[in-house]
Amino acid sequence: MLQERSADLSRSLSGYVEPDRVRREVYNDPQIFELEMQRIHERVWTYCGHESQVPKAGDYYTMQIGRQPMIMVRGVDGKVNVLYNRCPHRGNMICGDRHGNAGEFFRCSYHAWTFKHDGKLRSIPMDSAYAGTRFGKSNPDCDMKRAARVENYRGFVFASLANDGPSLREFLGEAIVAFDDMCDRSPEGKVEVVPNCFRVIQHSNWKLFLENQLDALHPSVVHQSTGRAAHNVEKELAKKAKKGETGLKYHMLSAFATVTIDKWDDFQTLNYPGGHSVLTGYMGLRPQDPDTLAYDKIMIKAYGQKRFEEIIGVNIHHVIVYPGLSVQSPLQQLRAVRPLGVDRTLTEIWHFRLKGAPEAIYRRSLAYYNLVNSPATLINADDLENFWKCHQGLASDGGDWVSFGRHFGHDVEKDGHVESAPKMGTSEAPMRGQMKAWSEYMRG
């Protein structure tokens, strides 16, 4: 029955996405959401977490892949496994905490079946009761089910619940730069997680969040209030500063006011197959303060001048790894998108430390993590308000379409990807690319 309904829905979906606009049902139809979970989130490579979240054997973190509660766990052999968080006996969740240490094995809290860290059944109490039945260690159905595929790229662990499909590298394609850019900025080529996860729930469809991330037109409209507020405090501090000093700056906040709306067209988006995209620009600043110079010195020692220039010259503000991640690699933070329902989306927000880099460099990006990405965010409060309003507005019969027509027809196709044309950085090309990928996935 569900299969039939899905087939009907698939046929009608072909009319829901046009190159420059999308039907509103794509955002608020619960049946489409269910199909998205089956055909997109439970098939693609989903970010589970960073291996440094589970340093010791038995350490685990739970997370959601599509609708599936999952566990990422470090085994005694050092391998990171991803398992369904479900006891094969009666379906009880194995880990009820968000994270912790399972000890030498998992133990179900209901009837004490125990499992190894790779999910293999270890013991059943008084197991003679199962003699002559189909249940027991020889039956793989009595193991905790494993994610079909797990891969680790430079410490970032991904899982796919589909047996077949592209490898992680093939899936990431050019978006792999998100992790390379982050790790390469460490003199050791490695990052480790800052042990804290900010979690914020948005009352809107998951796609609205991803569409907003590379929307270069919205910041000067939505974040003007914070930009102005920060810029005014900067001006006051400059007045009070001693001669020769500039006073404290809140560049990360004030840029929303000092970069005027017309200037955002100067940035560029690079849009890749699969809905991934990169926003270039405005983090490519090279300040000459003592902390940066000390960091540069360590980096040059580790990589040599030429490679150092390449690493530091990577011109990225933001990368979308569609459909589950928003990565700000130069600031070493990422937001994992976990759809909870058609109108509810959880973001899990993490910060990473560049191994071997000076403390001051960590603190600089920490300031951004706290001010922009914490639950008391000075920025996202207004974004989330807009997402909620979008979701509410799309429920109305006031119109059937969402428009992605800004600078439509001017995109530049180049070597298999699409670039926003020069001086057209506010192009809605990233949203067009995301919906193109969405249609391809949803075709099944």
Strand order in the sheet with 149-153: 46-50, 156-160, 149-153
The whole-angstrom separation of Cα 211 and Cα 173 is 19
Q: Does 52 bind another protein (CB under 8 A)?
A: no
Query: In angstroms, how far apart are the furthest CA atoms of the chain?
Result: 88
Q: Does 113 bind another protein (CB under 8 A)?
A: no
Compose the 234-253 pattern: x for residues touching another protein by CB under 8 A, - for all others.
Answer: ---x----------x-x--x
Number of residues that bind another protein (CB under 8 A): 41
- In sequence order, the 6+-apart residues with CB closer than 8 A to the CB of 101 are 56, 58, 59, 60
Q: Does 395 bind another protein (CB under 8 A)?
A: no
Count the neighbouring beta carbons within 10 Å of the beta carbon of residue 426. 21
Which residue's CB is nearer to another protein, number 301 or number 363?
A: 363
Yes or no: say if 269 and 427 are a contact pair by the CB < 8 Å rule.
Answer: yes
**Interface stretch with another protein, choices 61-69, 76-84, 159-167, 368-376 (CB under 8 A):** 368-376
- In sequence order, the 6+-apart residues with CB closer than 8 A to the CB of 300 are 308
Q: Does 222 bind another protein (CB under 8 A)?
A: yes
Q: Does 199 bind another protein (CB under 8 A)?
A: yes
Which residue's CB is nearer to another protein, number 194 or number 300?
A: 194
Q: Does 169 bind another protein (CB under 8 A)?
A: no
Which residue's CB is nearer to another protein, number 38 or number 374?
A: 374
Chain residues 303-362 in contact with another protein, contact rule CB under 8 A = 346, 351, 359, 362
Nearest to 184 by CA among 307, 297, 280, 294: 307
Q: Does 115 bind another protein (CB under 8 A)?
A: no
Given 283, 366, 412, 421, the residue binding another protein (CB under 8 A): 366
- In sequence order, the 6+-apart residues with CB closer than 8 A to the CB of 425 are 216, 264, 265, 266, 267, 268, 269, 281
Cα distances from 326 to residues 203, 217, 256, 332, 337, in angstroms, run: 18, 18, 19, 11, 8
Given 57, 194, 217, 300, the residue binding another protein (CB under 8 A): 194
For 424, list phi and psi in degrees, rounded to 5.
Answer: -130, 40
Residues lying near another protein in the complex (CB under 8 A) are found at: 194, 196, 198-203, 222, 224-226, 228-230, 232-233, 237, 248, 250, 253, 346, 351, 359, 362-363, 366, 369-371, 374-378, 380-382, 384-386
